[in-house]
Structure 1
Amino acid sequence: MARRALILVEGTRSNGPLYVQAAQRLGLHPITLSADPARYDYLAAEGTEAIRVDTDNLDALIRECARLRATYDIAGITSATESFYATASKLCPHFDLPGPNPASIERCCDKFTQRQLLAEGGVPIPAYCVAANATEVESSAAEIGLPVILKPAVGSGSSGVRLCRSVEELAEHTAYLLGGKYIWRSSPRILVEEFAQGPNYGAELMGSEVIGTAAIDWGGPPHFVCRECTYPALLTDDEHRRIIDASLSCLRALDLGWGPTNIEFKWTKLGPVVIEVNPRLAGTPTPQLVQLAYGVDLITEHIKLVIGEEWDLRRSHSHTAVARNLIPDRDGILDWIDGDSRAAAVPGVAEVKFYVEPKTPILRNGNYRDKIGHVMASSPTLAQTEAVIQRAVDLIDWSITPFATLREREQYAAPYFPD
């Protein structure tokens, strides 16, 4: 009997290893198709199969999957990264496999189209415009009124996202986005968006069920780098109901509801306002936090859906889970980082992970790549979990030697290619 395989189109450094490990636990043989498999260190570490193929070429992917089908029983095809999730969903019909509607995924991944559909569906969203050049950015910002958020119309991980509070900041960030430092996967289009103010929340859905809600600390502006995430969010029954209602309205407006969805909210004076809908799982540490808080393994249950098996979204417990991301306060060369073993030994700590090693250049760009590690903990109460997190983080330290000159910094800088 042919071995059952799960095809993963590209990967990510956050959820990628979790998908590989979950597939193996389910008795599947994970195979990653990638334009550059060497990008993903975890593939070699896990000893899993990876095949080089042009993942921007759907026909090439179809041919590769057809070739693999001669050796394996392809049980499912998916992707752990947003930019290839629609591509993976287009492959599924060719091999009679379950998957989301590719058109719905593509519409949702275009933030301008997404906002149009949400507005048509009556979902509360910030005021917005789309711009293709500096003149249009300036006029859109004048129409909405400063401060505004500038963000690429396609992208993830807060890449290229900035709060602009003045005309000077607006011009500066527009020049960054359009001046060659930010590499676009498609024609440049900038979303100019009203700055909705209030606490930040997130919702994780599988199918049409809200699995959990989170309180999110995005740190200080002008950039948006997640500093802490807490499951569940402390909400009143009415607030929780309104977030669930808004989440389900998003699914209807965007024709989603197959598989995972991640939704970001601001709680404004008008209630929950939708900032973004992601037709995929949020990245690390969200899946781990959901499992710590509720006992639901979102990645395993997603794979079950992908391979046509029945999932189980029942909660096995109710704890409070918190992740604190480690964010450097300066650019430079990392001299040393330590304390992970001491922090991991604190009772209640679930995971301590560093993403960098000594002698790594640290260059902060105001997106998810600024994080150099995280600490996760869980316990029956929020107060206890926060105390555990703080105790663990206090045991971690690092040293960064600042760059001596701007030229030294620039020698390590490179154009940013969004995942």
Structure 2
Amino acid sequence: MNDRRVIVVIFDKGAVSASSIAQSLNDSFDLVFAIHDGPFTDQMLPFLTETSEVVHLVGDPEVDAAKLARHCPDGILTFSESMLPSTARLATILGLPFHTPGTVRRLTNKFEQRSVLRASGVDRIVTAAIDSESDWERALAKVGLPAVVKPVRGSGSSGVCLIRDESEASHHRTRLFGGESTPGHLLAEEYLQGRPSLPFGDYVSVESLCTPQGITHVAVTGKFPLRPPFAEQGSFWPSQLPAHEVTAVTELVSRALIALQVSVGITHTEVQLTPTGPRIIEVNGRLGGQIDEIATRSDSVDLIKINALLAVGDPIGVEPACAGKVVFLNILSAPTHPCTLTAVHGVRSVRRIPGITGYTSLAQQGQYFPGAPEMHRLGVLYGEACDHEAMIAIVDQARSTLSFEFSETSHVPTSSGSLT
């Protein structure tokens, strides 16, 4: 008789790859991938069916819950931002631990999240909703310049723009509302000016385990400086912050999670480091992008498996991550203007640099990049160092070893590739 527990992963494009999920969970659980059919999941289907059971969801919560119930699941989770609402509905019907639908609404709707944090006194960011072009001037007048405008729902800094003056306000208004399609619901909020932090980023993230018994902050993740305006360039464990600042950051995040009524699961909270102290950028109700890779390479904790154990209601005793080295991944971003990648140099050489443990190419020759506001990646460097100073030196050497050639273009060439 099979006494292994069944874990359902509502899968789509998100923070963790299918291969990482399967590698982490198949030894301990009977894994079921549940998917909505679409271009991404269709592409992944051969791998998913090879490594697990697959359930095709139709979008009706009652019908989908009945399909999943046939597998007698002990837990349900997702690593995809877009799948959080449907996962919450299914968990409620199936009687399984997960964020409640109300909690998911507060975690995924940035306007509501800001409202809750402001009302609870956690972080009083000035915000304004932009539901149509007629709201534009009123919203920016309320928030003031500089301002950040972003989709009310979204992830990965997609569609986020920084507006520093009236000229940029006019440009982005035309870009967003001047075409045939509408941008959907937007949020304007005051810009949080980071403190001088080079060579590190002026923000961090906090990876937290939430249970009915309390909150454990597994790690404060350091960041490399953003590529303007908001393209992430990678992360590292541990952060460069001294102990007293780690305490201030984690205490702020605890207050935010309590205010948002997060009681189960893993969260990823981004925190801006300002001259007057830490401020909340946003709270996400799932594992952060590529954080599982940092955790695995640091030999500290398997966050994917921890997430599954939380989902089946196991008591978790996890200490804050403590590695005797600095583990990092550094992202190389595509240009912010339209162009086509024509050549890449230095890939073999970069892999031989001491401290570089790997390089993954995410682009191919002939690939077209449309530029801002979307963010695209050329590749990811992986490595480790004895301390933060050594890490910066290794990254600088690696980035100077790699070079990319582009041709300027304003249209998609017929030979363009696609992101892998």
* TM-score normalised per structure 1: 0.86
**1:230 positional shift:** 2.8
Q: Tell me which residue corresponds to 1:400.
A: 406
Q: Tell me which residue corresponds to 1:97.
A: 96
Cα distance between partner residues in 1 of 2:14 and 2:261? 29
Distance 1:178 1:303, change over 3 A: farther
Cα distance between partner residues in 2 of 1:162 and 1:182? 18
Q: Tell me which residue corresponds to 1:32.
A: 34
Q: Which amino acid aligns with 1:165?
A: R
Aligned residue among 274, 292, 296 for 2:297: 292
Distance 1:60 1:412, change over 3 A: farther
Aligned residue among 344, 351, 356 for 1:337: 344
Tell me if structure 2 keeps the 8 A contact 1:34–1:50. Answer: no
Secondary structure of residue in 2 paired with 1:365 = coil
**1:53 positional shift:** 2.9
Cα distance between partner residues in 2 of 1:93 and 1:143? 38
Tell me if structure 1 keeps the 8 A contact 2:237–2:326. Answer: yes
Secondary structure of residue in 2 paired with 1:74 = coil
Gaps of 5+ in 2: 195-201
Tell me if structure 1 keeps the 8 A contact 2:7–2:29. Answer: no
Cα distance between partner residues in 1 of 2:41 and 2:180? 21
Q: Tell me which residue corresponds to 1:239.
A: 245
Q: Which amino acid aligns with 2:191?
A: F
Tell me if structure 2 keeps the 8 A contact 1:338–1:398. Answer: yes
Tell me if structure 2 keeps the 8 A contact 1:125–1:274. Answer: no
Secondary structure of residue in 1 paired with 2:122 = coil
Q: Deviations over 1:162-189 (max 9, x none)?
A: 00112232233234344568776xxx32
Cα distance between partner residues in 1 of 2:32 and 2:352? 32
Q: Tell me which residue corresponds to 2:162.
A: 163
Cα distance between partner residues in 2 of 1:269 and 1:239? 12
Q: Tell me which residue corresponds to 2:207.
A: 204
Cα distance between partner residues in 2 of 1:176 and 1:24? 46
Secondary structure of residue in 1 paired with 2:74 = strand
Q: Tell me which residue corresponds to 1:379.
A: 385
- Farther off after superposition, 103-112 or 123-132: 123-132
Cα distance between partner residues in 1 of 2:179 and 2:283? 27
Distance 1:336 1:260, change over 3 A: same
**1:153 positional shift:** 1.0
Cα distance between partner residues in 2 of 1:193 and 1:151? 8
Cα distance between partner residues in 1 of 2:415 and 2:5? 46
Tell me if structure 2 keeps the 8 A contact 1:37–1:52. Answer: no
Q: Deviations over 1:345-404 (max 9, x none)?
A: 43433332122222222222334x41122112123311222233333333333332222x
Distance 1:316 1:268, change over 3 A: closer
Q: Tell me which residue corresponds to 2:270.
A: 264
Q: Tell me which residue corresponds to 1:148.
A: 147
Distance 1:361 1:214, change over 3 A: same
Cα distance between partner residues in 2 of 1:258 and 1:105? 11
Aligned residue among 210, 215, 228 for 2:222: 215
Q: Which amino acid aligns with 1:300?
A: K
Cα distance between partner residues in 1 of 2:33 and 2:315? 22
Q: Tell me which residue corresponds to 1:417.
A: none
Q: Tell me which residue corresponds to 1:360.
A: 367
Cα distance between partner residues in 2 of 1:41 and 1:270? 47
Tell me if structure 2 keeps the 8 A contact 1:141–1:148. Answer: yes
Q: Tell me which residue corresponds to 2:79.
A: 80
Tell me if structure 1 keeps the 8 A contact 2:9–2:31. Answer: no
Distance 1:353 1:272, change over 3 A: same
Distance 1:42 1:345, change over 3 A: farther
Distance 1:210 1:4, change over 3 A: closer
Secondary structure of residue in 1 paired with 2:344 = strand
Distance 1:410 1:114, change over 3 A: farther
**1:149 positional shift:** 0.6
Q: Deviations over 1:138-169 (max 9, x none)?
A: 11212222111111111111111100112232
Tell me if structure 1 keeps the 8 A contact 2:330–2:380. Answer: yes
Q: When the two structures are aligned, how many residues end up with a matched partner? A: 401
Cα distance between partner residues in 2 of 1:392 and 1:332? 23
Q: Tell me which residue corresponds to 2:115.
A: 116
Secondary structure of residue in 2 paired with 1:372 = strand
Q: Which amino acid aligns with 1:22?
A: S
**1:413 positional shift:** 12
Q: Tell me which residue corresponds to 1:305.
A: 310
Distance 1:411 1:141, change over 3 A: farther
**1:37 positional shift:** 6.1
* TM-score normalised per structure 2: 0.85
Tell me if structure 1 keeps the 8 A contact 2:366–2:416. Answer: no
**1:85 positional shift:** 1.5
Q: Tell me which residue corresponds to 1:277.
A: 283
Structure 1 position 63 matched with structure 2 position 69: no
Distance 1:149 1:331, change over 3 A: same
**1:20 positional shift:** 2.9
Q: What is the RMSD computed on CA atoms of the aligned residues?
A: 2.9
Gaps of 5+ in 1: 415-419
Cα distance between partner residues in 1 of 2:181 and 2:249? 34
Cα distance between partner residues in 1 of 2:131 and 2:233? 31
